[in-house]
Amino acid sequence: MRSFGDSLRLRESTIWVHALHGDPIKGKSKREVREELGLVSEDEEAKLSEFMGFDLMSLKAVVENPTPHGMPLAYLDGLAHMHISNASRQTTDGVVVLRFEVVGEHAHPILGVQPTGRNVTVAGITWLKFDEQPTPEGGLLFTCTDYWAYWDLPALMEQIGATP
């Protein structure tokens, strides 16, 4: 898993946080465009692959409908114009932990509180658990099976003028 962690870039973890928030990032990454154009990659991934003795490009990770635990992401239904960012990331055996921040407009009801139109910030942390499976092509596929999310509910309620 460490090799997976070493190759994990901020873009990948940002994609996952967006996926968990029902707001998938669309479009191609620079790497995908380079692959399509057949350009020889000289970026850090290629250097790392050479250093580690195997092709890191053969490692893929997917986050698709993992089983949720912890707090439901109840703010999702109420926020519009969301901006999602990662504050930090830690990776180890089969686990990736992301601290995240979501900024958005309170445009729809959240936990029974009618929309206020205020811009609010939600900070939280999520723990993603991955299973590792070999692929027929000789690579490795890391599938996110479960995630645990905890976020600052009292701070959100305070921002939208509600009490528990």
Site for another protein in 97-126 (CB under 8 A): 97, 99, 111-112, 123-125
15 contributes a contact to another protein by CB under 8 A:
no
Q: Binder to another protein among 140, 144, 147, 160 (CB under 8 A)?
A: 140
**DSSP H helices in the chain:** 2-7, 10-20, 30-37, 44-52, 153-159
Least Cβ distance, residue 26 to another protein (angstroms): 29
Q: How, if at all, do strands 119-134 and 140-151 pair?
A: antiparallel
Is 150:123 a contact under the CB 8 Å cutoff?
no
Is 19:86 a contact under the CB 8 Å cutoff?
no
> Rounded to whole angstroms, how far apart are CA atoms 68 and 73?
9
Is 134:55 a contact under the CB 8 Å cutoff?
no
Beta carbon nearer to another protein, 65 or 163:
163
Q: Of the ranges 15-23, 34-42, 43-51, 86-94, which one interacts with another protein (CB under 8 A)?
A: 86-94
Tokens of 41: 């990659």
57 contributes a contact to another protein by CB under 8 A:
no
Q: Binder to another protein among 78, 79, 151, 160 (CB under 8 A)?
A: 151
Contacting residues toward another protein, per CB under 8 A:
1-3, 70-72, 74, 88, 90-93, 95, 97, 99, 111-112, 123-125, 127, 132, 140, 148, 150-155, 163-164
